Every structure is written in structure tokens, then in C-alpha cells.
């Protein structure tokens, strides 16, 4: 298989492989198997796996999996230090160059679609955060709801609003804040950035994109529920409690706002009981998967890899790998 990937590409541009998919779709398992069969090195594309001490709730690859298939960009930040899409792009570009220099192919795997998009499309320089504007937006959201904020964004930046779910509070707040604090929309800033920067990622690299998911959304929902209960049984509460007890973290940090952590944090703060926190965590994870599917539905040049056959029967990992290899020249 190694020679197939390295010699069959007619394009002289260096090759990069993306492996995307919703949470609990089987990305890590497939990536580890591909690592065994192809001359690839793995780069994590996940906004939570970057944080140290957040292993169970992020479904971070186990020590055994990492020994078998090392991942880059894991455990590179303390939870007190926010990690942005711009940080990811800089880190990923560095790792991609390093992997190519070693004569291998980067395989980027994860579910943070914003990071993949930032890498593909570039990032426009955005104005610094404005706490006063953000506070005003959050007050309006508290009074009217986040769909109201979405409607406000729709009026000034319909293209950006179309890319954001009406309940995605963090992205909505930032997009509207950019306009209110600078007078320019994210769409305008991105357009200027494209005019000014160098060749796009897709012009520099030969990119193959795979997306893994079950055919039936109900299957994914069952996996999410089973996995969340398994996380709780494996010590998720104790993991979040260790973060809670540090004293230098709060619920407004991106790390603590992560799905699962936010809900258990609320339990530790006495705002819910454990059963309620677990149920909310499962619901939030399903909502995350829904947002990820929304991204993927409009994603260009995706090759879909399904974890079940057309009869709905689960495929073995070897079959999924064989199916994936059809897309990898």
C-alpha cells in the first residue's frame, strides 16, 4: 500500500489527506488502521484534544493507540490557555512541512470542522475581542435567545450567518462582535484576506478528503449515548473535578465549555444532579454531531466512507479500511 500512495499521484504537489467526521463516528480507529498500512503521519484536528488533563471526556486516543499510531497536536496546551483556529493553522502548517520533509504524507484527522476550513480557506485578520461589545451581545442573547442574535447577524452579514447554526453561541457572538467593533463583516475581512495572501492550501497541496459516518443517524446517537456512559464509568466526573478544584479555571474558558465538561462542571457547581448532567451531556454531544453534519453537507470534494453496508449491517474495520483505500491514490 505504501508504494500505491507514494507513486501513483500524477500531481507533483505534495499530498495531504483529511479524515473528517462527526463525533463518535470512528475516525480515530480508522486513522490508526491507515497509519499501519500507509506512509502517513497523523495530525489531530480537534479543539479539545489539545488540552492536557482532558483525556476521558475528549475521547483522546489511549496510550495503546498512541503507541501504535502517534498523533501530533495532542496535549499541547494547558486548559487555562485558549487555543484558536489561528493557533491550529500555524501548528498544522509546521507539522505538515515536517512530515513532508521526512518523505511521508500528513493525515489530518478530527471533527473540528472550523479548523479544517481555516486551513483550506485561510484566516482573515480579525479585530481583537471587545469585552464591552461581547457583554452587550450576551445580554441580548439572554433576553431574546441566540436565534435573535443570529437574525441580527443575518441583517449585516448574510453569508456568514448562513454558515452558523442559530444556537451556536460562541461563533455567533464572535461574528456579530467583529462587525459591531470594526464596522466590517467577517465575510468582507475574509474576501480582503484572499486578495492579499499567497496561494491557497489547495493550490499548494494535493488534498484528498474522506468523511466517515454511519449511514443511519440513529446508529450514531446510540454510539454517543453508550460512549458517554462509558466515559462516566471510566472516571469523567473525577477528571472534571480535578479541573474544578484547580481554582484557576472557569466555565467561560473554551476548554471548560467543551461538550461533556460543561455539563459535569454544572453538576460540581451544584446546579444539577449527576443524572441530569449526564443526560444533558448526551444531548449536547448529539447537538454537536448535528452541527458537524451541517458543516459536512455543504463540504466540497468529500469522499464518504460509511461504517455500515447498504443493508445496515456494521462493517468490520478491515472492510472500512479497504473502502477508504479506494479513494487514496
* C-alpha cell belonging to residue 204: 499548494
Sheet with 302-306: strands ordered across: 71-72, 40-44, 105-109, 15-20, 206-213, 302-306
Distance in angstroms (rounded) separating the CA atoms of residues 298 and 106: 24
DSSP 3-state of 300: coil
Task: Go through the domains of the chain in sequence order and give each one's CATH number.
Answer: 2-122+199-325 (3.40.50.300), 131-196 (1.10.20.140)
pLDDT at 194: 66
* C-alpha cell belonging to residue 316: 468490520
Do 172 and 160 contact (CB within 8 A), yes or no? no
Q: What is the DSSP string of 38-55?
A: SSEEEEE--TTTTBTT--
Q: For the chain, which residues score pLDDT lower than 70?
A: 1-11, 124, 193-198
pLDDT at 11: 63
Each residue's pLDDT tens digit, 138-180: 999 989 999 999 999 999 999 989 888 887 888 899 899 999 9
pLDDT at 318: 94
Distance spanning both ends of the chain, measured CA to CA? 10
Residue with cell 500505491: 4
Each residue's pLDDT tens digit, 40-63: 999 999 999 999 999 999 999 999
Amino acid at each position: 500500500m505504501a508504494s500505491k500512495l507514494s507513486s501513483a499521484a500524477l500531481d507533483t504537489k505534495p499530498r495531504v489527506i483529511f479524515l473528517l467526521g462527526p463525533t463518535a463516528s470512528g475516525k480515530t480507529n480508522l486513522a490508526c488502521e491507515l497509519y499501519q498500512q500507509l506512509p502517513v503521519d497523523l495530525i489531530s484536528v480537534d479543539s479539545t484534544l489539545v488540552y492536557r488533563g482532558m483525556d476521558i471526556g475528549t475521547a483522546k486516543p489511549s496510550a495503546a493507540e498512541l503507541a501504535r499510531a502517534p498523533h501530533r497536536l495532542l496535549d499541547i496546551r494547558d486548559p487555562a490557555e485558549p487555543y484558536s483556529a489561528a493557533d491550529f493553522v500555524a501548528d498544522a502548517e509546521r507539522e505538515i512541512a515536517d512530515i513532508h520533509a521526512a518523505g511521508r504524507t500528513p493525515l489530518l484527522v478530527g471533527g473540528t470542522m472550523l479548523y479544517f476550513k481555516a486551513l483550506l480557506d485561510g484566516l482573515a485578520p480579525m479585530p481583537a475581542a471587545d469585552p464591552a461589545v461581547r457583554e452587550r451581545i450576551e445580554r441580548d442573547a439572554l433576553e431574546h435567545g441566540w436565534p435573535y442574535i443570529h437574525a441580527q447577524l443575518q441583517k449585516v452579514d448574510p453569508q456568514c450567518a448562513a454558515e452558523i447554526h442559530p444556537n451556536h453561541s460562541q461563533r455567533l457572538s464572535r461574528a456579530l462582535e467583529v462587525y459591531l467593533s470594526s464596522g466590517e463583516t467577517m465575510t468582507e475581512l475574509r474576501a480582503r484576506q484572499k486578495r492579499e495572501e499567497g496561494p491557497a492550501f489547495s493550490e499548494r497541496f494535493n488534498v484528498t478528503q474522506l468523511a466517515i459516518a454511519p449511514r443511519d443517524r440513529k446508529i450514531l446517537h446510540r454510539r454517543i449515548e453508550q460512549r458517554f456512559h462509558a466515559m462516566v464509568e471510566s472516571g469523567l466526573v473525577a477528571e472534571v473535578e480535578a479541573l474544578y478544584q484547580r481554582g484557576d479555571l472557569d466555565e467561560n474558558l473554551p476548554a471548560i465549555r467543551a461538550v461533556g465538561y460543561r455539563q459535569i462542571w454544572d453538576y460540581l457547581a451544584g446546579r444539577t444532579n449527576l443524572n441530569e448532567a449526564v443526560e444533558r451531556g448526551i444531548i449536547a454531544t448529539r447537538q454537536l454531531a448535528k452541527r458537524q453534519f451541517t458543516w459536512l453537507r455543504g463540504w466540497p470534494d468529500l469522499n464518504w466512507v460509511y461504517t455500515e453496508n447498504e443493508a445496515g449491517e456494521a462493517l468490520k474495520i478491515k472492510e472500512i479500511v479497504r473502502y477508504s483505500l479506494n479513494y487514496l491514490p
